[in-house]
């Protein structure tokens, strides 16, 4: 029974590592600053939605960009 649990645990760990590797190689570019200055906000807002960087908390824009990249490539 312990061998079965060990195999299942190793399989789960392997699957999780593949998921994390895939997430780390995401095609989306993330903005390196979470709290932006007024000048940075103006520069970001002047860009089309699909060309803006992904930012934490910006769920709508990030989702629109991900769906676009999944459907049409980069």
6: exposed, middle or buried (Cβ count in 10 Å: 0-12, 13-18, 19+)? exposed
Tokens of 26: 């995401």
Residue written as token pair 């960087």: 53
Query: How far apart are the C-alpha atoms of 74 and 26, rounded to whole Å?
Result: 11
Mean pLDDT for 21-29 is 56
Cα angle for residues 62, 64, 67 (degrees, 5° grid): 105
Give the helix/strand (H/E) hosting 38.
Answer: helix 38-45
User: Quick check: 46 pLDDT over 80?
Assistant: yes
Best-predicted range by mean pLDDT among 24-28, 35-39, 42-46?
A: 42-46
Report pTM. Answer: 0.49
């Amino acid at each position: 029974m312990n061998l079965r649990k060990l195999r299942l645990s190793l399989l789960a760990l392997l699957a999780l590592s593949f998921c994390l590797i895939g997430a780390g190689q995401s095609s989306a570019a993330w903005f390196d600053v979470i709290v932006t200055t007024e000048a940075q906000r103006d520069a970001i807002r002047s860009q089309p939605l699909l060309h803006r960087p992904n930012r934490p908390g910006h769920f709508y824009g990030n989702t629109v960009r991900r769906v676009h990249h999944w459907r049409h490539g980069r």
